[in-house]
Structure 1
Amino acid sequence: ELRKALGDALPGEVRAGGRRSAVVTGELRSGRRAPVLAGTLSARLRQKQRNHRVESLLTRKVEPASAMAWLLGALPYPTAELDYAWRLLLKNHPHDSICGCSIDVVHREMETRFDKVEQVGKGLLERAEAALDRRLRAGGTEFVVVNCGPVRRGGLVEAVAPDADHLTVRAAAPGDATSASQAARWTAGEGAGDLGVPCQEVAAGGEDTVFDLELSPLQLRGLLPLLPGREILGMVVDQVRLSRPEPGRARIELVLGDREVGDLDMTALKEEVRALISDPAVQRVRVLGRRSRERRVIFLAEDVPGLGWRRYRVEAAPGGRSEGSARPDGPDRAAAAVTQGPQGPGLENDVFRVVVRPDGTLDVTDKRSGLTYPGLHRLTDGGDRGDLYTYCPPPEDHIVSRPLRRVKVRVVETGPVRATLEVTALYRLPVGLSADRRRRLRDRRHVVEMEVVTLVSLVAGEALVRLRTVFDNRARDHRLQAVFPVPRPFDSHYALSHFSVVQRPAVEPVGDGGAWAELPSGTWPHRGFFGAGGLTVFAPGLPEYAVVGRGEGLALTLVRSVGWLSRDDLENRPGHAGPGVATPEGQCPGRHELEYALSVHRGDWREAGAVDLLGRLEPPLLCLSRAGPSQTGNGGPGGAHGDGGDPEVRPVGPDGTLRAAGGLLELRVLEAERPDAVVVTAVKKSFEGPGDGETCRLVVRLVNLSPTCATVLFEAGAGACLGPPERLDLAERPARGEGAEPSWELRLDPWELVTVGLPLAPAGGPDGLPPRLKGYTG
């Protein structure tokens, strides 16, 4: 008998059956009775990567940043724009679309939708960042790191630095005004305390001359009305320097950048220029425009409050020492650094030591346990005669797993925040399959060379080896994987799934295989990480992995190239799975850029802290940087064109000074198997609002990725106008029943997904804005 029951009615229906019910665990994923079509996990992987990036943009940055700006009274929440973006993105999610198994024209249309969603998302994020910047920044060279999640955290941050020969980052002390700061430990030998922030320059733009004009005062006076704002030739005026280098001549130097740096009063500037050229002694004026020497630095932000901020400052380092200089007592043990060994350069931080072998594979030593995992990240390429639905190797396959010659290793970054090596390997691959599709072509006329460049990085204090691989795919009908062997075979492996972590067998029992609708492919899905045998691989946006052999290792799929929507001549799946249509774009030709990481450790994903490490790869942090003060006259800071800011809306402390750090809402895990097992998946404004009679709420969705119960505590920031959270259903309506009463403390069952809403109290400001939070002027 088959009965239909949903939700709360399900237990009663089970009891009413009068029989002892069997308990089935696992994923119920098998090709014994119906095809699984697991090959769709790796079909058109670039679109799956892009979908992940766009989803992450909306959920991890745009929605929470917009909610913060809304809570601060800085910006109406963009409900209509986000609704448009989500509806457009969902049009890319039908199973034949996001799975990559449709005709080529459908997937071209998907790219257009991705473009639109990304454009909307970036525009909304820029708007939210600008609103937060107006509320939170202190001006000058100060900038603010914003945490878009309610869990206190830190992470790797990139910021724009001023034009100076030597730089340092200073962090304001907790609870102090922004004037109270301590020097970065990498630049100040004395006075560096626990709040020191390692800082490293990663890029410096050139100083290309954009224009160089020789004008008379009359010509220049006629040009001034044509400059209504800061934009010139598609760039932005960031700095202006006026000078008179010699008698009868004046010089106006404009520094141009891609974004506004500081505040610049163009009206007052024009008045200064008019006063300069009104002097009868000035006969000629040289107007020079050059691109700014924009410098970008990375540093590790620490302890940023939930839905909050921490202030930093980039400035010239004292004593002419660079940000990468060692301290007087030697380099910090937690720093990331390049090492030299018998086989060439390697990497090291306080957790891992990485050595690059001549064949490009990596030996990673866990300094905590002393264990070494040799030969990691071996690129392996094999044939694929399957289709977009199913992977099927040719009977006479040819596996390419070694480069043509010794790899080239180049030092890219030396630390102390991040150390990076560039590993370049050249592979010779069969260009495709034979006419009967039973073997890979191997003669000299039918091979292509493929250069693979991998950036291998260690970040200070981080238990991750970060990898970024780039290649130009010129071969057809093949699958490229990154293989990670483990020292001892494993019986099972784990993977992050939808709101759970699943355990899977290393080998699927098949029997004679005759009764299967589709034979097991050996590949599995994941939603961020997978692992076994003391190794975890993190690959958000690359959803397919495989077990090597009978548990000797794991393999991440980097690209799978096939040219048919469906075929009916596959050994592991009888008959068609769809129309027998050629899909040449399914070969995925062209440039591929992939980012992933690995970690070695004792135990499983819990001991590895895999959930926390995944968050470090994509931290929900924004950097509101306006580093580099505007300059006038002799090039000094300040003056009429300095960074005036908006002091009437800045966050302040009890004594009226600018606060060094603060937050709107923080989530603390009180009881759990691991504190990082509770993961926040959404922070946004509720669907309803005061306009339709409903309470305006801040919505937080979280999941307990643990087989044990967890208790979390919500803490609203000082003066935040938020009431205690109440449970909501997935439609964001108040839940009913036991445990539905509002409470600052929330208990989560194992693997439970919960949505809560924190009502604004009092509700409703003008134009959809909440009332100004207490502790904020304006």
Structure 2
Amino acid sequence: MERTVYVVPHTHWDREWYQPHELFRWRLVQMIDELLDHMERHPEYRCFNLDGQSIVIADYLELRPENEGRLRALIEAGRVVIGPWWVQPDEFLPSGESHIRSFQRGIRFAERLGGSLRIGHCADQFGHIAQMPQLMRQLGLTSACLWRGVPDGIPGWSFWWEAPDGTRIPVLYLRNSYSSGWRLPADVEDFLERVRRQERDLRKGLPALLMNGTDHSRMEPHVPELLARAAGRGYRFELATLAEYERAVLAAGIDEVVHRGELRSPDRSNVLAGVLSSRMVLKQRDFEVACALERYAEPLELLAHLHGGPDGSPALRHAWGLALENTPHDSICGCSVDQVHREMLPRYDRAEQLAMQVARESAAHLIRRMEVPAQGGLAVFRPVQGAPAAIEADVPAAWAAFDALRLPGGEVIPFTLEPLGGGAELLREDVSPRGALRHLDFLREQRYDVHAIEAMDWELGDGHLRVTTTVGPDITVIDDEGFRAEVRSIVRAGLAETAEVAVRESERARLTAVLPPARAAGLELAVPIHGAAAGLEPAPGGRRLRSGRFDVRMSGASLRIRDRETGLDLDPALVFISEGDRGDEYNADILDDGVDEPVSVTVRGTRSTPAWQELQYTLVYDLPARLGPKRRRRSRRERVLEPVDVAVRLWRGLPLIEFRVTVDNLAQDHRLRALVPLPFEPERLLTENHFYVAERPLAPPPWNGESAEQPPTTFPQKTFAAVEAGGRGLALLNRGLPEGELADWRGRKALALTLLRCVGWLSRPDLRSRRGGAGPTVQTFDSQCPGRHRFSFALAPYAGGWHAAGIAPLAHGWAFPPIGWATNGHEGSLGSWLPLAGLEGDAALSAACRSGADGAPLVRVYGGPAGGRVTVDVPAAGSAAAARVDLLERNPVPLAGEAGSRAFDLRPWEIATIRFEPAERP
């Protein structure tokens, strides 16, 4: 029988990589212009797959809006195929929610233009997360199509891929890459030889595949004629879409091979593991912006909406678009030219600005309707339930008269107050009385320029009118229209002969406190009170901290920690190590020259407050300045002194030790890591990843002796990694530091956390960790990461297993801390506790937001390792009808319940989305 060979014309379009976005976009416009012209004139060139991401169409139409009709006609006819992603992201670095939003946006955009591909096309991502089969199935996708990360243990061209929850999806394996049919020769014999190379390990009856394209490739117009000439030579050729190839593979049968979990093996294709730590500032900014969107802005906007609040969805939709533009694998991975990554930072800034403004406006709607006593209060939004959490908030300096907060449930917690300054005069001007009125006319929407108005006062004496406006970050209730009316009546009555106006900043202080576990995600009012809480005992010495659980002390250059609850002794508890890195942005290539002994140690002292104790010290390392000229070792004579400032903090009521580290990076070509030497030989290694916690092997897999890339020893993580042995464990929590490793240090195992990986090349062809280049050999100075960097991480010892010890909620409560706004005393109809979403059962909250399709309230959760019965309670949703829906918010299964409470069953690690019918707006 003739084997059918499917030839799939396509392109894989990196929006930015070795050129910035606008230059690649101009090439895209030229490519699509040529494609439209050719396909309209040549019906035999029947189809073209425009990558797996819809954003390239939006990019094109911004410059060619007049061609939307032409493009739409080809999409509706099934000849041009787009979707299902919005962008093709790196899978390990962005959040799980960002993947869901990328798919939702991509599919909905493609459907509006005529139809979306229903295959999870993942052409070039650097490996694949374990939960991707579940995400794809819940999005209505019928298979995954991918290349990188597949191990040698998978023999053929298709297999079943199983997620941690048990969901399976068939995989169309691009065994010879997405470039297997690029630049097809015009000569038939040469072409047939190319075809025969695609048949290795291809079982009888299964179709062959040629992917006719590659990165930024244009169409090859000669292909239909070439296939016609090659017909009858032992093969049947089809110019086809991926969907047509999928139908043929499914009809022939998927190989009965099951792969469980993530795909991150370099056995057959590079997974470029070093991108987890290239340009770490991008990873940190992505974490911060995702937190602002997912943990603050969306939940607060939903809570305000359920209480009749403003519509922040247009701003959030745009903010998500900006954030998603930074998630493609060549962008967030930090493996492009410097200009690309410089352009990413303003996108992050703009997305964060919008997210935090929506969070503030939503909180203001709720706060102004709360009943607040005369002394004012702190409105605190808790994004995570089930664990204590520290809050740091900006409050009026006058709160120095108080020393504790009373929570809605009656709990009283001490706080620490530190002066922040403020009080500056922004404006003082002598004006006429009517000039004072004109000044007030510009103070609208409780704003003065970029400042929020906190208070407005007038004073009249001896015919002189003084109008003073106080501005600051608080959300206050003031009657600005009534104030204007009072001043207007004074001026109209002729009581003022002269006037002056002034605007000043309020005096500020930084409040820090530890809040007990929240009953639900929601907004609560904490009221400042006096004399209700005692402070901690002073720190026992200039080199030592002591709490009810932990002893922390410096001994020479070594930090030592004892946990009296578990009996763990960490000695040393923290080591910084700089190793030479002759790698590039894709892969580390570490030299055996680690520097972990500082040349000087300065203990700057300890502080003890009612909320926390802190030990501060500075280590200075004598490091080689860079690689030597032959790149074989680091420079010996040229050296730099690199300071590392460390603040170790014990929070009152938090079962962890927090580290705040500042590094002034002066060295090049090195990797800087924080190591936690372990007091036991680990038996289990666990990492939080997207929607589940993975148990990882204690040793990396061996090299197969053939692959171009060595197997990665580092692992991807979200907010924590943990090791366990003998009924005890140690978790290392982080904020936006996605690369960890179970490393060797002086004959012991250590948990390693990468802080910086500093290299000077996009790609190098001369590495030991990877044969050949992974991109163009271009120098990238910014990837040396010069300048000041700040990092936050924490250690949490525990007894038993991580799940029973509550490590996941503890890590989330620390990584996504509460935020708060001070407010003044005022009347209101709402109480002091406004819950948004509460969970009962083995599950965690992933999202509380409104639908991007119709604005309906949504709550998304995922099960833990036990699964079982879960109850989601959204009190403000009231008696609204609710249903469990898929990730496109379709296929509803009604859920019975009342007062916003719904119960259902979850498999371990299963993702569930609950949709509440939108209420009628007044």
Query: TM over 0.5: same fold?
Result: yes
2:276 alignment partner in structure 1: 41
2:620 alignment partner in structure 1: 426
Q: Does 1:112 align with 2:346?
A: yes
Aligned match for 2:688, one of 460, 479, 496: 496
Q: Does 1:262 align with 2:476?
A: yes
Residue deviations 1:219-261 (CA, integer Å, cap 9, x gap): 456444333226667655544666799xx69795846332356
SS in 2 for 1:205: strand
Contact 2:860 2:914 in 1 (8 A): yes
1:66 alignment partner in structure 2: 301
Q: Does 1:456 align with 2:648?
A: yes
2:848 alignment partner in structure 1: 683
- Judged with a 3 Å threshold, the aligned counterparts in structure 2 of structure 1 residues 304 and 143 are, in CA distance, closer, same or farther, namely farther
How far the C-alpha of 1:279 sits from its partner, in A, is: 12
1:632 alignment partner in structure 2: none
How far the C-alpha of 1:660 sits from its partner, in A, is: 3.6
Partner amino acid, structure 1, of 2:611: V
Q: Distance in 2 between matches of 1:235 and 1:754?
A: 41
- Judged with a 3 Å threshold, the aligned counterparts in structure 2 of structure 1 residues 365 and 132 are, in CA distance, closer, same or farther, namely same
Residue deviations 1:80-102 (CA, integer Å, cap 9, x gap): 33222222222211111111111
How far the C-alpha of 1:529 sits from its partner, in A, is: 0.7
- Judged with a 3 Å threshold, the aligned counterparts in structure 2 of structure 1 residues 172 and 492 are, in CA distance, closer, same or farther, namely closer
Aligned match for 1:349, one of 547, 561, 565: 547
Q: Distance in 2 between matches of 1:476 and 1:149?
A: 39
- Judged with a 3 Å threshold, the aligned counterparts in structure 2 of structure 1 residues 731 and 514 are, in CA distance, closer, same or farther, namely same
Aligned match for 1:296, one of 510, 516, 519: 510
- Judged with a 3 Å threshold, the aligned counterparts in structure 2 of structure 1 residues 208 and 620 are, in CA distance, closer, same or farther, namely closer
Residue deviations 1:576-608 (CA, integer Å, cap 9, x gap): 111111111111112211111111223442244
Q: Which runs of no fewer than 5 residues in structure 1 stay unpaired? A: 175-193, 630-642, 652-658, 673-677, 690-695, 767-778
Partner amino acid, structure 1, of 2:546: E
Contact 2:665 2:788 in 1 (8 A): yes
Residue deviations 1:378-416 (CA, integer Å, cap 9, x gap): 11101100111111124xx432212221222233x4222
1:746 alignment partner in structure 2: 904
- Judged with a 3 Å threshold, the aligned counterparts in structure 2 of structure 1 residues 399 and 18 are, in CA distance, closer, same or farther, namely closer
Q: Distance in 2 between matches of 1:566 and 1:238?
A: 53
- Judged with a 3 Å threshold, the aligned counterparts in structure 2 of structure 1 residues 277 and 130 are, in CA distance, closer, same or farther, namely closer
Give the TM-score, by structure 1 length: 0.78
Residue deviations 1:271-296 (CA, integer Å, cap 9, x gap): 76689899999999887765422233
Partner amino acid, structure 1, of 2:685: H
1:700 alignment partner in structure 2: 859
Partner amino acid, structure 1, of 2:539: T
Contact 1:470 1:591 in 2 (8 A): yes
Q: Distance in 2 between matches of 1:577 and 1:270?
A: 66
SS in 2 for 1:569: coil
How far the C-alpha of 1:128 sits from its partner, in A, is: 1.2
Q: Does 1:195 align with 2:414?
A: no
Contact 1:711 1:745 in 2 (8 A): yes
Q: Does 1:730 align with 2:887?
A: yes
Matches within 5 A, 1:86-235: 86-138=320-372, 140-143=374-377, 145-147=379-381, 149=383, 151=385, 155-157=389-391, 158-161=393-396, 163=398, 165-171=400-406, 174=409, 195-208=411-424, 219=432, 222-228=435-441, 229=443, 235=451
Contact 1:532 1:604 in 2 (8 A): no
Q: Distance in 2 between matches of 1:733 and 1:621?
A: 33
Q: Which runs of no fewer than 5 residues in structure 2 stay unpaired? A: 1-155, 162-166, 172-247
Contact 2:160 2:257 in 1 (8 A): no
Q: Distance in 2 between matches of 1:624 and 1:141?
A: 14
Q: Distance in 1 between matches of 2:611 and 2:872?
A: 33
Partner amino acid, structure 1, of 2:844: V
2:835 alignment partner in structure 1: 663
Contact 1:352 1:364 in 2 (8 A): yes
Q: Distance in 1 between matches of 2:504 and 2:882?
A: 53
The size of the alignment, in residue pairs, is 672
SS in 1 for 2:799: coil
Identity %: 29
- Judged with a 3 Å threshold, the aligned counterparts in structure 2 of structure 1 residues 237 and 39 are, in CA distance, closer, same or farther, namely closer
- Judged with a 3 Å threshold, the aligned counterparts in structure 2 of structure 1 residues 728 and 273 are, in CA distance, closer, same or farther, namely closer
Partner amino acid, structure 2, of 1:525: P
Q: Distance in 2 between matches of 1:4 and 1:520?
A: 22
Q: Distance in 2 between matches of 1:720 and 1:448?
A: 59
How far the C-alpha of 1:375 sits from its partner, in A, is: 0.9
Aligned match for 2:594, one of 399, 406, 410: 399
SS in 1 for 2:812: helix
Contact 1:491 1:551 in 2 (8 A): no
2:777 alignment partner in structure 1: 580
SS in 2 for 1:605: coil
Contact 2:291 2:816 in 1 (8 A): no
Contact 1:150 1:665 in 2 (8 A): no
Residue deviations 1:447-489 (CA, integer Å, cap 9, x gap): 1122221221111111111111112212110110001001122
Contact 1:162 1:295 in 2 (8 A): yes
Matches within 5 A, 1:423-572: 423-443=617-637, 446-510=638-702, 514-533=705-724, 534-549=729-744, 552-572=749-769
SS in 2 for 1:51: helix
Matches within 5 A, 1:358-397: 358-359=556-557, 361-394=558-591, 397=592
Partner amino acid, structure 2, of 1:420: E
Contact 2:698 2:742 in 1 (8 A): yes
Partner amino acid, structure 2, of 1:440: R
Q: Distance in 2 between matches of 1:224 and 1:99?
A: 54
Contact 1:257 1:292 in 2 (8 A): yes
Partner amino acid, structure 2, of 1:528: T
Contact 1:391 1:521 in 2 (8 A): no
Q: Distance in 2 between matches of 1:90 and 1:520?
A: 29
Matches within 5 A, 1:282-361: 290-302=504-516, 304-315=518-529, 317=530, 326=534, 339-341=539-541, 344-359=542-557, 361=558
Q: Distance in 2 between matches of 1:583 and 1:232?
A: 43
Q: Distance in 2 between matches of 1:71 and 1:545?
A: 41
RMSD, aligned α-carbons = 3.6
How far the C-alpha of 1:356 sits from its partner, in A, is: 2.6
SS in 2 for 1:612: helix
1:769 alignment partner in structure 2: none
Residue deviations 1:351-400 (CA, integer Å, cap 9, x gap): 322223331x4212112123311112211101100111111124xx4322
2:265 alignment partner in structure 1: 30
Q: Distance in 2 between matches of 1:123 and 1:164?
A: 25
Partner amino acid, structure 1, of 2:603: K
Matches within 5 A, 1:240-251: none
How far the C-alpha of 1:39 sits from its partner, in A, is: 0.6
SS in 2 for 1:747: strand
Q: Distance in 1 between matches of 2:494 and 2:784?
A: 70
- Judged with a 3 Å threshold, the aligned counterparts in structure 2 of structure 1 residues 599 and 165 are, in CA distance, closer, same or farther, namely closer
Q: Distance in 2 between matches of 1:201 and 1:751?
A: 41
How far the C-alpha of 1:32 sits from its partner, in A, is: 2.9
Q: Distance in 1 between matches of 2:673 and 2:421?
A: 36
1:191 alignment partner in structure 2: none
Higher mean C-alpha displacement, 122-131 vs 573-582? 122-131
Q: As a proportion of its length, which structure holds more helix?
A: 2
